[in-house]
Amino acid sequence: MAFVINDGCLQCGACAGQCPVGAISEGDGKYEIDPDKCISCGACAGICPAGVISEG
């Protein structure tokens, strides 16, 4: 199951830089994860300073 970025995103971009498959991009008000590209590795969740990334 793909990871999702919940409300509370700081828009820092740390997650996007950590994603090995480029599934994360800047969205409207927060970063977003493309579920079709996400490989569920969890690298983004581990780097998120706000702790708002979880398995969706």
Domains contained in the chain, number? 1
Would you state the structure tokens that stand for residue 40, as one six-digit string?
Answer: 């569920």
Here the CATH number for the domain that contains residue 38 is: 3.30.70.20
pLDDT of 1-56, one tens digit each?
899 999 999 999 999 999 999 999 999 999 999 999 999 999 999 999 999 999 98
10's enclosing H/E stretch is none
Which letter does DSSP use for residue 26 in this model? Answer: E
Please give the pLDDT value at position 28. 92
Closest by Cα among 43, 47, 51, 42 to 7 = 51
What is the reported pTM?
A: 0.92
- Which structural domain, as residue segments, surrounds residue 42? 3-55
Please give the pLDDT value at position 24. 98
